[in-house]
Structure 1
């Protein structure tokens, strides 16, 4: 823990000098394209931000964010890259969240049945309160079911990987958010959902094809990809799967004044974008960071998990709360590699934000951008911020949880119908802990191989040592790819 910075943050803040926001947007049209090429090709994401921090001697500056022309009407943002300024993005009394989930552009509403789903709504809009209340009520009423259901799904995953893991992860992602029963999608689900996600988000990534010239790859940043590619009949299958399995929830939606089809399209988004898309990033990250750690950490996790499960007589809420190292490992993964790295908002009024060493005025109507991996690896708050420290949040380290922002709010806060924090925040943490628990109930240690994909990394478990059985034999097994991002 960076105790000096933490103590300073808890004391009365001194008034910081007001400084003009450094940086510029370059020439009209060409400036956004140059920044886009730097971001995707000549520098890459992290270096893009690092070079500008160094150039402007500031973690707050002006820049353009992709995709830029011709998709975005305005790519200009004020970037916030430290833990102190970043939380302004959560304050919906000062910032607006209308249609800004994906940043400086919005996909066609055709991907969502013609509706602006809850994620694109500002809390001031009536439908936001109705829809998010529905999600929160459902999650609260279903919370007790998730441990046994999720454990069953993970048992299937561990028994069948590597060949069946993609289908099982899709089953988990879609049904655990809707109804604990199998959908009709089966093996089609991953492909349909991946296509649906890729078409929406293509302008924010690259194709990742080796030797493809940059100017060819850059074509996907110049227009929105059309919905009709996934429409016949892919999206309809997703919609029907949710519609058929979420009858009770859709009935509740109608009772509170939400149209049945609008509620269903929102649930498809929650299942496909939040659950499938989010877990597709988070679960491999868990495997990657834990697998890349020392074998001694694996032994510590296995000992803690097995001891507590034995004492508690099973995997229960109470048992999970008595595993401080397991909890810390999950939080550390969420800190070092948050599943959603970007946050955007629009200033509702002239506001002043503070970094660690200066204050900056952002004008009403300006777009604010936060790159979370820099904020949650802020050296002013975290010691060795680029290092995976498994026990970072154990004991006194729990005080640092307020600087973990993955859920669109501080980890110490809770989602409500009137904020933009992820409604499944607690469930995501719960399921991540269960995944670690289930893994180390079966295995003592494992190794990983990490590769690159257009959006993130591929993660392979190359070998693992199974837990000792009754005869104290140890089985070492080679396996292939476990999952991918």
Structure 2
């Protein structure tokens, strides 16, 4: 079977597509956004919320009130784009503005980030953006050689902890073990020393978890049976949660990071940044972008691989071990040669992007297209893209709802550009002038390395998967060590 749809790519020129009015609407002031918010969080859930309206309007582009609605959002009205063709308008900063839309139609207080609008909230047109992102890119480039040995050391401890919990309890909850490993790995990578060698000790990731939750609470539903929906909605989605509750935990981690990363901050000052602003930006890159991303990334990856079955495990183990032996170890060259492993990583990113939403505001009246029609978005309107649907576009991918391990092998490689998760196409590269995740290549590399480290050690494994506030939960039921 072909890995891509017979309709790929859409062969209809944009200038002959019919120009349609964008369907949908926002309802009555105040009450319309409240109704859509209740549907989104409680009546339907995110996927069904968007899919039901695709069916209702017979369109992957429509108007609706996006989460979290009043009162957190100044204006919840959005134009939603939910197919592979319309979605990339969100990446085109010549036509859209990316100022203060990192978390959508609301923005957490800058108290959470030392009083600064950090790089993620800046538009490329703002002078500070190029300086900050250029600093991040140069930093990641310098750390490239440290990535493999630092991660291998962290992974060894991860799997030792996993095996110990399996031995003691008969099962192992992967998420907290992974979070603990990810935090110390990233702290060690960016700051040059283990968090355990600072006053943070082993509690750094717990402090960051609270810091992340208080910023993202308006986008979350707890799903607690004893808590009525109306009470949770009032608590989480009506008013932003205050910073002072998590202030001491954030400052504890930030102070340790600030001290340990002194050489990096010296370099930032040479590039024209104030030391304090660079410090909070680096903390955000490490704690929100990187640690927050790996909290979702690694569990999702092992969920899909784990449920892929023993045949997939056998194929991955054979490929990884053969290439590692041929290359004389785990090297960058080896990580480029493991074709099936690379395909699996991209497929996991397609199935469950670690970032669900992308937002932007139209700089001018712009014409966008879907597979079937063209639409005009007016200047100033907010555009919202929900990636878990756009990356499952049935007119691009065959069996889009299924995890297909070898989807991106052979001729399937041409579909990689439709893997949207990094605020850009997978075939694009982050620069100081765009909004693509600066650590995009590192994320993909870490995912490959996680599978390499796993299948060097184990032949197969079994898991149970569930849902958390954000992302998937994974519980290991068994692992079989390689002989």
TM-score normalised by the chain length of structure 1: 0.94
Residue 86 (structure 2) aligns with = 85
User: How many angstroms does 1:14 deviate by?
Assistant: 5.2
Give 1:84-103 correspondences, 5 Å limit: 84-103=85-104
Q: Indicate how the Cα distance of structure 1 residues 106 and 309 shifts in structure 2: closer, same or farther if over 3 A, else same.
A: same
Q: Distance in 2 between matches of 1:173 and 1:59?
A: 38
Which structure exhibits the higher relative contact order, with contacts defined as CA atoms closer than 8 Å and separated by 6 or more residues? 2
Distance 1:114 1:240 in 2: 15
Greater Cα offset, 347-356 or 246-255:
246-255
Q: Does 1:311 align with 2:326?
A: yes
- 1:460 maps to what in 2? 475
Alignment correspondent of 2:22:
21
Structure 2: runs of 5+ lacking an equivalent: 166-176
Specify every segment of 5 or more residues in structure 1 that has no aligned partner in the other structure, as ranges.
Answer: 469-485
Q: Indicate conservation of the 8 Å contact 1:171/1:186, yes or no.
A: no
Q: Which residue of 2 aligns with 1:174?
A: 187
In the other structure, the counterpart of 2:66 is: 65
Shift of 1:13: 4.9
Retained in 1: the 8 A contact 2:296–2:470?
Answer: no
The equivalent residue for 2:173 is none
- CA gap of 1:84–1:15, structure 2 versus 1, over 3 A, is same
Cα distance in 2 between the residues matched to 1:241 and 1:421: 28
Matched with 2:174 is none
Q: 1:246 offset after TM fit, Å? A: 1.3
1:393 aligned counterpart, secondary structure = coil
Contact 2:306–2:463, Cα closer than 8 Å, also in 1: yes
1:413 equivalent in alignment to 2:414: no
CA distance in 1, matches of 2:160, 2:379: 54
TM-fit CA distance, 1:160: 1.6
Measured against aligned partners, the alpha-carbon deviations of 1:309-363 in whole angstroms (never above 9, x if no partner) come to 1111100011111110000000000111000010000000000110000000000
Measured in 2, the distance between the counterparts of 1:288 and 1:426 equals 22
Query: 1:140 corresponds to which residue?
Result: 141
Q: What is the CA–CA distance in structure 2 between the aligned matches of 1:312 and 1:416, rounded to whole Å?
A: 31
Q: Distance in 1 between matches of 2:133 and 2:103?
A: 19
RMSD: 1.3
In 2 relative to 1, CA 208–454 (structure 1 residues): closer, same or farther, beyond 3 Å? farther
Task: Give the drift of 1:159.
Answer: 1.0
Matched, 1:370 2:372: no
Write the mapping of 1:341-380 to structure 2, written as runs, cut at 5 A: 341-380=356-395
Within the candidate set 208, 216, 220, 2:223 is matched to: 208
Aligned equivalent of 1:478: none
Equivalent in the alignment of 1:121: 122
2:451 match: 436
Matches within 5 A, 1:222-233: 222-231=238-247, 233=248
TM-fit CA distance, 1:457? 2.6
Partner of 2:355: 340
TM-score, normalized by length of structure 2?
Answer: 0.94
**Structure-1 residue corresponding to 2:338:** 323
Q: Cα offset for 1:179?
A: 3.0
Deviation at 1:177, TM superposition (A): 3.7
Cα offset for 1:26?
0.6
Q: Does 1:425 align with 2:440?
A: yes
Aligned-pair distance for 1:294? 1.8
